[in-house]
Amino acid sequence: MDAGNLVTTRSGTVQDIGLRPRTEAVTPEALYVAETRGSAVTAEGLVKVYGKGKSEVRALDGVDLTVPEGSVLGLLGPNGAGKTTTVRILATLLKPDAGTASVAGFDIARQAHQLRSVIGLSGQYAAVDENLTGRENLSMFGRLYQLSKGDARKRADELLEQFDLVDAANRPAKTYSGGMRRRLDLASALVGQPRVLFLDEPTTGLDPRSRIAMWNVIRESVRGGMTVLLTTQYLEEADELADSIAVIDTGKVIARGTADELKAQIGGERIEVVVRQPGDIARAHALLMRNGEDECSVEEHARRLTTPAHGGAEKLVRIVRDFDEAGIVIDDIGLRRPTLDDVFLALTGHHAEDIELTGDDDAPAAAD
């Protein structure tokens, strides 16, 4: 380990984050490739296997990804799908067993040191030194990114202001709330003004106000030219931030596209009807099927029936009339577009809210 890359923190831990000055070992040719390639992140056939024989777990099973420069890719999937393993490989924290990938034009295997100098990473858990103050944490990261003491402190002050941490700047991080630590962790990932930012469930544990503030910071960073790959289980977050989405399950990318493209894959608008009496569900279902539909889902516990809205508002009016003539009382009825949760359900077999947000996304990776 190169002593020039070691730092001893106040808590006594020694860290080697593998950073080098941005000019070290970066040839003009490499810089040219990094700056002119249209995709900031590319991955082909990534495979990661844990264990052997009967205990073998394929955390990744041929993942392909492309993230255009200056865009946001949202990586969606249930726990254990492979999201965190993918991020760790792209951030050079884990070696793939097969496949290739490049980030900002640098190969993850052959140019890991150069790559680390142009990326930022905020993991599922805040990686800050609890014994350092917020300002000291950010200044330390600035020094690791080869900033002078003055520039590191200036950058720290900018980020403290940006993340609304000025009042807590001189307090030890161990006195911060969970949400404040998450904000400090993301600020740390932005110290080096990275070209590519990896965010692994960045707003977990944040209150709605802090989550929206975090979204604004991410949007502002992307407007400045940064590329972001984020994993999330908040479908609203993907809808708000992602230019494109990849759904990953059992170590494979099973769908990709914009939010609208993915929603279109499961059909257009739908009509939802909630009947007042549970005993009317069967008759309501028969009426909807009589209208020529070959699809009508029923959620008995919610007394809700859903059918494609072929004909749009005209069909809705017809349903209201038919139910009224049949004496079926409607509690609620309306047209709605498919949501990302509908996409998630169609592709993975369960709603996103059914996922328990406990522990690492890819449990086998913890043994690595």
Instruction: Check residue 270 and give its pLDDT.
Output: 83
CA-to-CA separations, 37 to 103, 261, 265, in angstroms, rounded: 10, 25, 30
All structural domains of the chain: 3-263 (3.40.50.300), 269-336 (3.30.70.100)
Helices 178-189 and 134-144 cross at an angle (nearest 10°) of 20
Instruction: Check residue 126 and give its pLDDT.
Output: 75
Question: Does the pLDDT of residue 8 top 70, yes or no?
Answer: no
Cα separation, 6 vs 81, in Å, equals 34
Question: Does the pLDDT of residue 40 top 60, yes or no?
Answer: yes
Cα separation, 260 vs 283, in Å, equals 34
Question: pTM for this one?
Answer: 0.73
**Average pLDDT for 291-303:** 81
Average pLDDT, the chain: 83
Question: Residue 122 carries which side chain, given as an amino acid letter?
Answer: S
Q: What is the pLDDT of residues 182-218, one digit of tens each?
A: 889 999 999 999 999 999 988 877 888 888 888 998 9
Question: Does the pLDDT of residue 90 top 80, yes or no?
Answer: yes
What is the percent of the chain where pLDDT is above 90? 52
Question: Does the pLDDT of residue 53 top 50, yes or no?
Answer: yes
Q: 223: pLDDT confidence band, cut at 50, 70 and 90? A: very high
Question: Residue 56 carries which side chain, given as an amino acid letter?
Answer: E
Q: 115: pLDDT confidence band, cut at 50, 70 and 90? A: very high
Question: Does the pLDDT of residue 125 top 60, yes or no?
Answer: yes
Instruction: Check residue 294 and give its pLDDT.
Output: 64
Instruction: Check residue 230 and give its pLDDT.
Output: 94
Cα separation, 141 vs 188, in Å, equals 7
